[in-house]
């Protein structure tokens, strides 16, 4: 059976070169970088320093500006809460409504503590209008946080414009580059970011490791009390094997990601065009041009998202959905099932039957994978529609209208 992984926004297959680079740090190189007087510790510290330099180069930063974390969620929490705690008197934060939960939910305790927030709306393509950022900034605004690219709908935000506006107004700018780094160029100076989030498993590195870029001179408080690791921003012994893996993945991405994008962009267009002509009542989401390469997202009427994913999986195709029913199958009751806030934000109607799908391709995918998806999906959609009472009603309505 086919094995087509089109869910790279959730995880990417770890590159074998990354695994190879990590392995010695699980075995013979077991030292703690904080205990670096002896050889084992020195080995670990050298690996950590080299990795910091590599990850910094990927985003055109200085090594001292990289804080390794357990992943993007921790990095986003550190950016938002750390900047808030580091602010002397400013109490206002601006974010977009399509940010990841680790940004939006990090605001909850801050609001309870008296911080004020402005959540910016996006347009139908999921884009933030930089002018809205300009209008939202107040004298007491400390931070603007807008993601570089949205994982669910693929839209790339005008982060450079937003960064420039924040800089002009003396406000910190945080960009969550989880979905973009390693896929499209990320340059902290071009973006004008003071804080920028990275996640290794989104660019063929291991899970459980990420980083926050912290521009030199940025006031940021640590969230974890402990030792002096990571420049005092993040206590706790570093995940050396993970960090080495992240750096190896960054090295590979610097050398190869332009080629991946060149390959994936036309595959994404082929999938987009093929779906547009083969499935009626299908609506694409996200910006048609300014989007991640090889990322195609849409919703269809009269077929539910989880059912689409289950049937795709039966055909060996692994994808994601923002539909409520597939949101949290390990939850405890129905209340745990919620439709994606991103889909709501871009105006996907919730009063009709819809199923959303996100296909996100990666470097190992081929044109044949796209053709396979195009060969199976129309029948899957038809099959679910044939079962749906709403489709029956829709067809009768069409007939009566002649």
Partner 1 sequence: MAGGPYSEKVMEHFMNPRNVGEIENADGVGEVGNPACGDMMRLYVKVEAGKVSDAKFRTFGCGAAIASSSMLTEMIKGKTIDEARAITNTQVSDALGGLPEVKIHCSVMAEEAVKAALDDYSKKHPA
User: Which of 88, 330 has the CB closer to partner 1?
Assistant: 330
Residue 76's nearest CA partner among 107, 47, 53 is 107
User: CA–CA distance from 350 to each of 335, 336, 356 (Å)?
Assistant: 16, 17, 11
Catalytic choice (23, 318, 325, 374): 325
**Quick one: 244 or 384, whose CB is closer to partner 1?**
384
112 or 329: whose CB is closer to partner 1? Answer: 329
Which residues, 6 or more positions from 392, have their beta carbon under 8 angstroms from its beta carbon? none
Cβ closest to partner 1, residue 157 vs residue 326:
326
**Euclidean distance between CA atoms 131 and 134, whole angstroms:** 5
Nearer to partner 1 by Cβ, of 258 and 338: the residue is 338
* Partners of 7 in beta bridges: 360
Which tokens belong to 163? Answer: 């960064």
Name the site residues for partner 1 (rule: CB under 8 A): 302-307, 310, 313-314, 323-326, 328-334, 336-337, 339, 350-353, 384, 386-392
Nearer to partner 1, 189 or 336 (CB): 336
Smallest separation, CB 153 to partner 1 (Å): 19
**Which of helix, strand or coil describes residue 294?**
coil
**Number of residues in the chain:** 402
Q: In what order do the strands lie in the sheet with 354-360?
A: 282-284, 295-301, 354-360
Distance (Å) of CA 207 to CA 30, 252, 261, 318: 19, 17, 22, 19
Residues 6+ apart with CB under 8 A from 56: 62, 63, 65, 66, 213
Min dist. Cβ of residue 390 to partner 1 (A):
5
> What's the min distance (Å) between Cβ of 320 and partner 1?
14
Q: What SS3 state is found at 167?
A: helix
Q: How far is the CB of 195 from partner 1 (least distance, A)?
A: 35
Catalytic residue check, 353: no
CA 330 to chain centroid: 22
Sign of the Cα pseudo-torsion (356, 296, 365, 10, in order): negative
- Shortest gap between Cβ of 321 and partner 1 (angstroms)? 10
Shortest approach of partner 1 to residue 317 CB, angstroms? 12
Which residues belong to the active site? 325
């Amino acid at each position: 059976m086919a094995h087509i992984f089109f869910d790279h926004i959730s995880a990417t297959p770890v590159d074998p070169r990354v695994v190879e680079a990590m392995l010695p740090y699980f075995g013979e190189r077991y030292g703690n970088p904080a205990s670096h007087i002896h050889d084992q510790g020195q080995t670990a510290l050298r690996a950590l320093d080299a990795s910091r330099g590599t990850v910094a180069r990927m985003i055109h930063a200085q090594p001292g500006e990289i804080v390794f974390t357990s992943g993007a969620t921790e990095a986003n929490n550190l950016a938002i809460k750390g900047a808030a705690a580091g602010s002397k008197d400013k109490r206002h934060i601006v974010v977009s409504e399509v940010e990841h939960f680790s940004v939006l939910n990090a605001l909850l305790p801050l609001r309870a503590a008296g911080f004020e927030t402005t959540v910016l709306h996006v347009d139908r393509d999921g884009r933030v209008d930089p002018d809205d950022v300009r209008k939202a900034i107040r004298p007491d605004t400390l931070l603007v946080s807008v993601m570089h690219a949205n994982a669910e709908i693929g839209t790339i935000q005008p982060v450079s414009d937003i960064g420039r506006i924040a800089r002009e107004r003396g406000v910190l700018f945080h960009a969550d580059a989880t979905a973009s780094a390693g896929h499209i160029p990320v340059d902290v100076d071009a973006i004008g970011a003071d804080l920028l989030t990275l996640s290794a498993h989104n660019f063929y590195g291991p899970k459980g490791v990420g980083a926050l870029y912290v521009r030199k001179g940025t006031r940021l408080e640590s969230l974890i009390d402990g030792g002096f690791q990571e420049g005092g921003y993040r206590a706790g012994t570093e995940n050396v094997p993970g960090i080495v893996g992240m750096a190896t993945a960054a090295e590979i991405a610097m050398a190869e990601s332009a080629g991946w994008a060149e390959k994936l962009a036309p595959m994404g267009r082929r999938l987009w065009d093929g779906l547009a002509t083969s499935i009626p009542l299908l609506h694409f989401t996200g910006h048609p041009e300014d989007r991640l390469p090889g990322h195609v997202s849409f919703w269809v009427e009269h077929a539910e998202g989880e059912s689409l994913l289950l049937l795709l999986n039966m055909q060996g195709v692994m994808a994601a959905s923002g539909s409520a029913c597939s949101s949290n199958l390990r939850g405890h009751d129905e209340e745990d099932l919620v439709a994606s806030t991103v889909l709501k934000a871009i105006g996907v109607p919730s009063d009709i039957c819809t199923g959303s799908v996100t296909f996100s391709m990666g470097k190992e995918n081929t044109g044949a994978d796209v053709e396979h998806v195009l060969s199976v999906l129309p029948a899957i959609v038809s099959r679910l529609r044939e079962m749906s009472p709403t489709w029956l009603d829709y067809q009768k309505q069409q007939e009566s209208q002649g």
